[in-house]
Structure 1
Amino acid sequence: MALDKKTIRLLILEDSQNEAERLVSLFRNAGTATRVHRLTSSDDLAEALQQSWDLLISAPSSENLDPAEAVAAIRRQAKDIPVIQLVAGNDSDAITDAMSLGAQDALPQGEDERLIMVANRELANLEERRARRAAEVALREAEKRCQLLLDSSVDAIAYVHDGMHIYANRTYLELFGYEDVEELEGMPMIDLIASCDQVNFKDFLKTYQSLEGSAELVCGGVRADGSDFRARIHFSPAAYDGEPCIQVVIRTESDNAELEEKLREISSQDLVTGLYNRNRFLELLDSAVERAVNAGQLATLAYIRVDRFASLQAELGLADADLLLADLSELLRQHFPADTPLARFGDDVFAALQQGVAPGVAEETLAALLKKVEGHLFEIDGRTVQTTLTIGVAGLDEKTAQAREVVDRAHRCADELTEGNALKRYNPADELAAAANRGSVVAMVRQALENNSFRLLFQPIISLRGDTHEHYEVLLRLLNPQGEEVPPTDFINAAKEAGLAAKIDRWVLLNSIKLLAEHRAKGHSTRLFLHLSSASLQDPSLLPWLSVALKAARLPSDSLVIQLAEPDAIAYLKQAKALAQGLAELRCKMAISQFGCALNPFNTLRHLPVAFVKVDGSFTQDLGRAENQEALKTMLASLHAQAILTIVPFVESASVLATLWQAGVNYIQGHYLQGPSQSMDYDFASDSE
């Protein structure tokens, strides 16, 4: 595992110069530059601690400086230097003692690969702590600046929580005629509102609590001396001293609101076209993204580029090219509804935000725009000019993370249209396909979920005791864009890291249920064993969903066996217990796979009423040795004593069958019998004869 490329400042407490150099070479071989100082005494340490260091690695002991003294000195000076203590041999007491004294970790001397991994972890943690401290300082500074701005603002600003004032600036106090903020603290804001407007104000506040974003109200204000004035009150969500509240900004109607509005309008306009400029449009796009995420309000962005504009500009000259853009902007205004935000987004690019309109619907309007511009004759300074547009289209929905993402998508679509006078809509599948072709396993998984292109395989689980049921384990496979199988561990691990494991489980369950219903309709008495990931194990909505899926397919619940891996069952035992109870109510059975590798595997079974246990594959390896046979027999006897049916996987040859029969195994599974297949076609009858 390679360390980060930045230079690491390393302290080493090691009497042997050669050993210290060996440790340094480990870091350099791991691909990182190091600046190193070897400690030789307590005075040397005191001097070194005047500087900044990233890591201390200490030998088990030193004649020059006791490692415990070095750790104590670092703690005494409150230095954030992680310490890794090496110990002689794998002495657990020495490891515990070192960590008790303040070392971040301790490990046996000579375990070089592990040392690099531990150092990598501690350096990453150090960077996180430093970044957090820097962020906390920046936050405090920002809060101070905000407070100064609030205190000195010419706007009347207050913060209100549950209708009560918790802060008001000097301008707010002067507006209402109060001397001190303490006079307002704890006072309901409604006391400052004219009595004729109080009902409206109450209703507005009630409605505002359920809204997202900013809102404005015009009503009468009452000063401390009883005089009143008309006020425009702007409300927006905020936080004060870490508590959520409402920021209130009040402007009186005597303020030059009209001039302010005019200035705001001018600052948001493009001078050539009169449309919004890029900055103002991005603000509107940000608000649309927020509405899409929080309220599910769809919108569509059109990135509209003028074809071959550089050539037109060279032909017409700058001034006449600007006239063409102005005429085009007027045509856009006429084409779109009056409330559609339009902008000049770049030199030769316009943008339109169609709010409440899905991309599929917007496409019709934009296709009509293409035809309109293509057929339009622009009169520029006595000359006739024709042009066309290229349009990239991207939608905003609840999955949209940020405005820049939408712009990038629409921009890419426009760039892909090399001929001009054309339109392309962003399709997430195209992006996934491109990423999948580049070898991204996560992209392949997402694509398989969207395109329903995972492959299900079925491997028979065969009874050694005459059970008439047909049992199959369901296995999932993923093909890359070249048609080759991705190793299951690779894509399953990638899916877990990307948070897609639960979605995959649902896909497998749903498609297995459909196939099983079709198979059982042909007269087969078939059960399927289906894996469940730790993500689904923690999902409380799984059981109700599974119940509905089984009823819809008209399948008996006992035709499914839900299988958990032993490590997941142990890590999430409480959730596994709840799942087992829910499955029992549904009359589904539960199985544990990879059984027998925990320190006390039978402890798990005390909490989970499982019907089947599949022992770990390691137990079937080297069954020719008597001690391995005995270990398997002992485990199986304990399981059978609890009336649990046992499955032994990875049966790869006939030689182990007699041993497994004598051991009392209920079911076997493996390539010797039949490997995974795309169909449930194993002849179980031949085994029962």
Structure 2
Amino acid sequence: MLADAPDTVAAGSLLLLIGGSEDRARGLETALRQSGFAARAAWIADLEELDEALRRGGADLIVCAAETGSRASLAAVLAVCSSVAPELPVLELGATHDLAATNLALRLGARDRICAGTEADLHHLCHVVRRESSRLRSERELIQARTRMAAFETRHRERLDDISDAVIHVQDGVVSRANHAFAALLQKPADLLVGSSLMDLVAPDQQPRIKDQLRQLARGKASDGPFPTVLLRADGQPVAVDVHLTQGTVGRQSFVEWLIRVEAEAATTEPAADAGSRVAADAGGGALQDRLALFRALAQPAADARPRAVMLFIADGFASLEARVGLEDAELLMTQVAAAIQTRIGAPPATGSTVAPVAAAALYRFSTDEWVAVVSRATAAEFEALADRLCRELAQQVFTAGTHETRVSLTVAAYPIGASEAATQAIDPLVREARRASAEGGGRALVTGPTAQAQADARENARRAAQLKRALDHDRMHLAYQSIASLEGEARQHFDVLVRMVDESGQERHAGEFIDAAVQFGLMRAVDRWVLGQAIKVLAKRERSDEPPVLFVKISEDSLRDTERLLATLREQLATHPLRQRELCLAVQELSVQNHLRKTLALAQALEQLGVGLAIEHFGIGTHSSALLEQLPARFVKFHASYTRNFSDAATQRKMADLLSITRRRGIRTIASHVEDANVMARMWQLGINYIQGYHVQEPEAVLLSTTPIRGN
């Protein structure tokens, strides 16, 4: 082993080797691991596969195997990396050191040229990998820091527009930013203020004092408090103000912030008592009713057959609002919020509509900062839109109490009442969910309850199915692989093939997020055909490998029902990409096999003629598992995860041992899944299990690893 193992290389760093062979990738990974790098090397067959791997992310270094007599392959690799992942370092891997070849690689844009022949070559290789890993990590941290800074500056700009204090930023004597309050103070549009000279906004007799104050600020000698000055409005009239000056920076540019405290005018439209009276009048007379009145109202039968929902409104962060504005003004603000809610609960008809307007619902004060209403709509689907609209509109309104002007963030929750539910059953879960949402930040609408959940699940499944169909149509699917490790030291690799979908935003979705929708909307056959076709293409790209990996492709019950079409698809694919060493195996769940035993038998016989194996998944939970082993010519069986979870149970071990005795006699290889514990792994080996799979072995990967995989997290 080489000395000075690198601490700076992140554990589990992924190197992609394009060109050469899987054996070369295996040698590269072995050399790095023996030198102390927790690295993995994956072999990429061609530029198309490289593009897909880079778009999925996760790679840390690209190594391009040099082809004899040509550098075209390196140039093509650099072009792909430049367009997809320009921050990734690219190295050229040659057989021997060649100064001319190194200079050419550097001119093309590679970071360096490496070899892996002699011990000196390996030392150089490790130094280059350490250097490039460190540089890449620093660059990624810089990108993250810039992203966070940009987000902070965006929030800061939004905050300036929301506050009532007048603020401008001045760079080199020119206004670079002005908020709405400052524009209102000078009665001039904010976009006209930006770019104007600061001194044009200051009264002439005040300009020397301003310049002196700015010099003192630059020297760090300005006073902490405000200083009085006079500004000029758009009409030339003077405005006496007290200015707070502070220095700040945006990127590498410094600026001076002018802040003027603007005293909010006292509300004169109506006193608090009148506001409360108006709310009560809108509700039908009297003050807002309390919880007991609410419970009595909920116990009453519905006035008509329209769907109803209980809605809860919570003023988020009331304690901090109360501490900021004081007890009296906080109560005045809550009175105004209640009035705003009340005026919006009714749903007036659209212009020209013949539908009668929805009567305003009674509003009940549930606590100091909470209100409840029972609303009716034509359809249950309208409640979610109502909650969204109320949350959005109320958040935009500015409320005034005493000398304070502020917006109030609200959590708006709706609980649609099901046909078999009593309205009183809605309160406890509604309050629990709404308060949790408010405590987590609030400012959002939510719909809860079994009726809402059923509707949401149906909509989500329909959305997922449409998303999956678009992904299949536009080839936004890709494969991932999870290693199946041999307990007998077998050199040949085995992988479970998993499918991933990339949505419109570029987010990768695991199969568990869309398979239910695919089953419900009849898309499983299309998914199976796509996965099968891609897996065969992957095997074809590895035709140069002496011992290609065995891929397990899962087949749904829908495809098992239609074995004729499945076999036609398989024959069509294998006609252009024939198998050489029985490297493909179709996996079917045991319960699906038992539901379609004759079709499975016919499928197994046809697969044997094509050189394709059959595996039974989720094995051992059926009532006739032993008989199934005697009837089906399966090549592999994978035990159900319950055998691993309950492995310490003596009865489970006895049942597993009985099934294993049949598999040994029939020459069927066995796999245990979900193995997370080394002790369980050892005991399964003693029992006679041939292969294991699970996160203890390896997490699913986006590319086929060329060597024994590093243990997953």
TM range (shorter): 0.3 to 0.5
- More contact order relative to length (CA 8 Å, sep ≥ 6): 2
Q: TM-score, normalised by structure 1?
A: 0.35
